[in-house]
DNA sequence: ACCTGAACACCGTTCAAGT
DNA sequence: ACCTGAACACCGTTCAAGT
């Protein structure tokens, strides 16, 4: 039973990767595995459950760092792994924001972060909060990137958009520093460094 | 023309608030404003453009803090405003993650954050990066909340989910501190305080 | 300029039926 | 136990036509 389900989820993920989430219909997935749409139901239950299954399959691809590494390195590895996953599966990845971490692989990721934060010296009573803070940022960054939400700020763009320059003192003050293109790899690393400093400084 | 468009966007947002994003169909929106589905096209162009229009309407509801306030207070006000918006429009709010900030109201929000970060002493060359970091976290928190992604960690839940306790050293170590219910208002404030400390400490 | 109505090519899911 | 096929109540969008 479970083998057939995996085959169905793989087909759904392939379709999402190739043609976007909108192309993941019960009919299209069924055609790809050579079945009738109705034949999927015993395996995946519903369209919503199929999407949940894709999320779980995604998390299974995320490899977790060895406990012997430095906590900073572990945070970095998990964060970079998540971002890599987003680039590999840009259509399916944003689904991670939609559902709680209630699958085995999701719990394992959370546990890995718990360990890293404990080793960083975060007080036990703050670890679950800080874990949510870190994972929310990493997820948010990766989703923003693949969804095209990020784009460098620019005065020229702001003006094209029909906002008077007097309304935008911040953009004007920053004019020389708002660059037309951004190195997102470097930005992500700088963010993670700031985040690690913040983690170190949490005392309560 | 623009008056009719507003009426259409209001109807779409009302439908999303009342029955979820899936209920926002061209046919349903049209019915709500007393038109034929096809009559919407001259005003909104397409279904995707209608969703973009809803995002812009949402941002227009976000009130921006006065420049005379302390930068910490301004950050707090914008963040709480965004979270309140998410609660008022839980179905439509996650759309904010889908598209770049390329509307007048979006640029105004970014500018407000630029000003606050400059006043906080963030170096000019880092302001756009830190703005993306802060807005990504705030958006991510609010979306996680309305989508039900957040849920307190718990050993009991982890076990119910069929992961062996030996695999979860982090959960075991934190057992006494993983509470069954979380005060999300307090958590958001604690996160913002940590974020503000981080902002203060950015020097490059 | 603004709107309608029929049509096309799709959806997820039900149900009764087949083997 | 596993799968099929017809049907139901929907989609977004096109096109030609009305006023």
pLDDT in tens, A48-96: 999 999 999 999 999 999 999 999 999 999 999 999 999 999 999 999 9
Residue with tokens 């998390």: A59
As a 3-state breakdown, chain B gives helix, strand, coil percent values, each rounded to 5, of 75, 0, 25
Task: Verify whether the Cβ–Cβ distance A158 to B128 is below 8 Å.
Answer: no
Separation of alpha carbons B195 and B141, rounded Å = 13
Burial class (CB in 10 A: 0-12, 13-18, 19+), A42: exposed
A204 — pLDDT class (breaks 50, 70, 90) = low
Contact B144, A133 (CB under 8 A): no
Q: Do residues A75 and A124 lie in contact, with contact meaning Cβ atoms separated by under 8 Å?
A: no
Residue B193's CB is within 10 A of a number of other CB atoms, namely: 13
Q: Which two tokens stand for residue A4?
A: 């057939």
Lowest-pLDDT choice from A92-106, A121-135, A173-187? A92-106
For A22, A48, A88, A131, the CA distances from B191, given in Å and listed in that order, are 35, 32, 30, 11
The token pair that represents B147 in the structure block: 């989508």
- Give the CA-trace dihedral at B42, B12, A48, A36, to 10 degrees: -30
Read off the tokens for A51: 């999407």
pTM: 0.95
Q: pLDDT-based confidence at A162, cuts 50/70/90?
A: confident
Q: What is the pLDDT of residue B157?
A: 82
Residue B17: the pLDDT is 97
**Could you give the CA distance from residue A177 to residue B114 in angstroms, rounded to a whole number?**
12
The integer distance in angstroms from the CA atom of A19 to the C1' atom of C11 is 17
How far is residue A115's CA from residue B127's CA, in Å, rounded to a whole number? 32
Whether residue A168 and residue B108 make contact (CB cut-off 8 A), yes or no, is yes
Tokens of A45: 């239950």
Length in residues, chain A: 204
pLDDT values of chain B reduced to their tens digit, one per residue, 204 residues? 588 999 999 999 999 999 999 999 999 999 999 999 999 999 999 999 999 999 999 999 999 999 999 999 999 999 999 999 999 999 999 999 987 777 889 999 999 999 999 999 999 999 999 999 999 999 999 999 999 999 877 788 888 888 888 999 999 999 999 988 899 999 999 999 999 999 999 976
Which residue is closest, via its CA, to the C1' of C14?
A38
Quote the tokens at residue A56: 């779980």
A192-196: average pLDDT: 98
Q: Residues 6 or more apart from B72 whose CB is under 8 A from it?
A: B120, B196
Q: How far is CA B57 from CA A75, B155, B183, in A?
A: 37, 42, 30
pLDDT for position A51:
96
For an interface test with A, the pick among B21, B91, B123, B136 (most A C-beta atoms closer than 10 Å) comes out as B136
**Are the Cβ atoms of B168 and A195 closer than 8 angstroms?**
no
B171:A97 CB<8 A? no
Footprint of strand C on the protein (CB under 7 A): A 24-28, 37-38, 41, 46-48; B 1, 4, 35-36, 38-39, 42
Q: Which candidate, A129, A40, A13, places its Cα nearest to that of B174?
A: A129
State CA A182 to chain mean position distance: 20
**Are the CB atoms for A128 and B177 separated by under 8 Å?**
yes
Would you state the pLDDT for residue B1? 55
Taking 70 as the threshold, does the pLDDT of residue A45 lie above it? yes
- For the cut 60, the answer to whether the pLDDT of residue A160 exceeds it is yes
- In 3D space, the residue among B5, B153, B198 whose CA is nearest the CA of residue A125 turns out to be B153
A155 pLDDT band (50/70/90 cuts)? confident
A101 pLDDT more than 90: no
Across all residues in chain A, what is the average pLDDT?
94
pLDDT of residue A78: 98
């Amino acid at each position: 039973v479970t083998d057939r389900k995996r085959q169905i989820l793989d087909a759904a993920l392939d379709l999402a990767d190739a043609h976007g989430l909108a192309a993941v219909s019960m009919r299209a997935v069924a055609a790809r595995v050579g079945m009738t749409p109705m034949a999927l139901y015993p395996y995946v239950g519903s369209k919503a459950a199929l999407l949940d299954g894709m999320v779980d399959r995604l998390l299974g691809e995320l490899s977790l760092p060895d406990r012997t590494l430095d906590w900073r390195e572990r945070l970095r590895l998990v964060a970079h792994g998540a971002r890599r996953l987003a680039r590999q599966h840009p259509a399916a990845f944003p689904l991670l924001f939609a559902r709680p971490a209630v699958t085995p692989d999701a719990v394992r990721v959370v546990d890995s972060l718990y360990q890293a934060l404990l080793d960083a010296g975060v007080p036990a009573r703050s670890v679950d909060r800080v874990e949510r803070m870190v994972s929310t940022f990493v997820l948010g960054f990766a989703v923003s990137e693949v969804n095209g939400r990020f784009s460098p700020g620019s005065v020229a763009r702001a003006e094209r958009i029909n906002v008077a320059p007097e309304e935008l003192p911040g953009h004007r003050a920053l004019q020389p520093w708002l660059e037309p293109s951004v190195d997102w790899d470097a930005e992500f690393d700088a963010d993670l460094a700031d985040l690690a400093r913040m983690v170190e400084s949490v005392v309560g």
